[in-house]
Amino acid sequence: MLQNRHVPDSHCFIGEGKALEVKMLVEATASTMVIFDNELSPGNIRALEEIIGVTVLDRSALIMDIFAQRAKTKEGRLQVELAQYQYLLPRLSGMGRSLSRQGGGIGTRGPGETKLESDRRHIRERISRLESELEQVRQVRGVQRERRMKNSVPVVAIVGYTNAGKSTLLNQLTGAGIPANNRLFDTLDTTSRQLKVSDNLDVILSDTVGFISKLPHHLVDAFRATLEELQYADLLLHVIDAADPNREDHIAVVDKLISTLAKPGTPVIYCYNKADLVSKEEIPVGENVIAVSAAKGVNMDALLKKIEDTLGHARHRVTLRLPYSMGGTVDTLHSKAKVFSVDYTGEGIEIDAVLDDILYGRLRDKFGDNGIVSVVIGEISGDTLHIELWLMSCRVLKRDMELAMLDTLVAACRERNICNICGYYYQTAKNGMVRDLFGKFGFTKTEQFENGDSTWHLDVAGYSNQNHVIQVNEKEHQKA
């Protein structure tokens, strides 16, 4: 039943005439309850029940009743109970029939405490206890979140309108096996599972409570411990029911809540689920849009690829070779990167890891093209490389950086079966750094000239050094 009014009736919301019409419809259909798709005041509910003669529920009460039926875990029941008490507290004055005084007496509460005051006091105390318990839940989630951040594991949060297929998608991608039924608010508790997106990327995939238009504010407040996961998500997967005739309205509702709950700038992938039920023309095309069928497993590989493309641009797979003296860098990698393997060899510590942009940039600045550049120009004659020019540029040249340049040169020679490296030091070039390289790290002076110039020789086969620095993968190496 619909009604158009400029202003709701202050007494019974729809006016007494319409209320009597509802009463006639209730009697004709033998209904036992009337539900309003609006939020009613306590006085409205009381007046309507007196006129109609059956129980009256507003939108918030109905949603909370559904939530109460769906809540399975302790956290979910706590959140629903808190929302129910927050809904009930301001409505006590309109719901109570008996306001007789009770208690009283000397040394208690003076003239006595009314039933209304007693109920309010008990509800406030219960709300306070519930908020305290939920704060403990929030702290536990914070510890888990810190552990994920320490392990550098990105979080992908699944969001969307209720009954869009979020839990089905989680089951399809991770095999979580959580209930996924065709009904509203089937999932109240956050479920998180690890998802292997690719060889370079593992994520935590989290399913969240479904959204709905005109979501009661006290429900949002009560489920803050659950919804705050959106604030720490690295990517949002907005699941949309492609076959829903009201999908554009639902998208607007979810986008509005995302703008309120998620951190600004969080990337969003619009995942049109149930795409097998509509034509391709009904699904928009875009860089951050993909069509899938979670129930049938259609286009899951493409979804994983899009997740990787969105998150993977900030992640780099590298192989690091570090001297044993750089144990601090190894600890940093364990705490701030995803380490696949650590191998302690005779040449140093070899680490296979995935780094984020920040850590990758720090190591690159320290060891890579922003920290040191070495270019060798020479001529190969038989099994000997004659160095004609050795260009070096660095911000701060350290011993391990010098050795890194020499290691790279020796490795290149070994790949080409070059057994000897010969270099000529020009005193007039005043390049003491090259002279130190020749003199300190394995080169033998073969001839000294009167003008200060000298020639140097290195036996490639006999060269051994424990110091190494970053070696990026083949793709990054070609790019550099």
pLDDT tens, position by position, 78-134: 877 888 888 877 777 655 444 444 444 444 444 555 677 777 888 888 888 888 887
pLDDT tens, position by position, 355-399: 776 777 777 666 654 344 455 667 788 888 887 666 554 433 444
Closest of 67, 60, 63 to residue 189, by C-alpha? 67
Q: What is the pTM of this model?
A: 0.57
How far CA 131 is from CA of 64, 80, 125, 128, 138, in Å, comes to 17, 12, 10, 5, 10
| pLDDT at residue number 48 | 92
Residue 274 zone, left/alpha/beta (φ > 0; ψ -120 to 50; rest): left
pLDDT tens, position by position, 196-246: 887 767 888 888 777 777 766 666 665 665 666 677 788 999 999 999 988
Round the average pLDDT of the chain to a whole number and report it: 76
| pLDDT at residue number 469 | 37
Say if residue 467 is exposed, middle or buried (CB neighbours under 10 Å; 0-12, 13-18, 19+).
buried
Closest of 40, 88, 80, 71 to residue 219, by C-alpha? 80
Note whether 282 and 242 are within 8 A (CB).
yes
CA 243 – CA 334 distance, rounded (Å): 46
Tokens 């959106």 found at? 230
| pLDDT at residue number 219 | 67
Angle, CA 195 vertex, CA 194 and CA 199 arms, to 5°: 120
Greater confidence, 196 or 72?
Answer: 196
